[in-house]
Structure 1
Amino acid sequence: MAMSQEDLGWFCDNSEGNYTTNSPYKPNLNHLLSTFTTHQIDYGFYNLSYGHDHKAYAIGLCRGDVMPDSCRSCLNNSITLLTNNCPTQTNAIVWYEDCTFRYSDRSLFGTLDVSPTRFVVLPVISNVSDFRYTQLATDMLQQLTPKAASGDSRLKYATRRVAVPNFPVLSGAVQCTPDLTSDACSNCLLASIAQVRDAYDTVPRVRIMKPSCNIRFDINRLFLDPRASSPPPRNKARKLVLVLVPIVVVVLAALLLIITITLRARNSNKKNHIANEESLQFDFDTIRTATDGFSEANQLGRGGFGAVYKGRLPDGQYVAVKRLFQSSKQGDDEFKNEIVLVAKLQHRNLVQLLGFCIKQNEKLLIYEFVENSSLEKFLFDSIKRESLDWKTRYNIIQDIVRGLIYLHEDSQLRIIHRDLKACNILLDAEMNAKISDFGTAKLFEHDQTRGDTRKIMGTYGSTTLPKPSEPAFFINSKCSQMPGQFTDHSLTQDVNELSITELYPR
Structure 2
Amino acid sequence: MEMGLGSGSKSNAAARILAITLPIVGAILASVVIFLCLWTKKSKPVRKASVSYPTNPEDIESIESLFLDLSTLRAATDNFDERNKLGEGGFGIVYKGILPGDEEIAVKRLSQSSRQGIEELKNELVLVAKLQHKNLVRLVGVCLEEHEKLLVYEYMANKSLDTILFDPDRSCQLDWGTRFRIVNGIARGLQYLHEDSQLKIIHRDLKASNVLLDSEFIPKISDFGLARLFASDQSQDVTNRVVGTYGYISPEYAMRGAYSIKSDVFSFGVLILEIVTGRRNNVSYDSEQSIDLLSLVWEHWTMGTILEIMDLSMICHSPGDQMLKCMHIGLLCVQENPADRLLMSLVTVMLCSSTVSLQAPSRPAFCTVKSGANDSDTHTEQYRGNSQSTSRSPMSPNEVSITELEPR
Q: TM-score normalised to the size of structure 2?
A: 0.50
Kindly name which structure, 1 or 2, has the bigger radius of gyration based on alpha carbons: 2
Bigger strand share = 1
Bigger helix share = 2
Which has the bigger relative contact order, CA under 8 A and spacing at least 6? 2
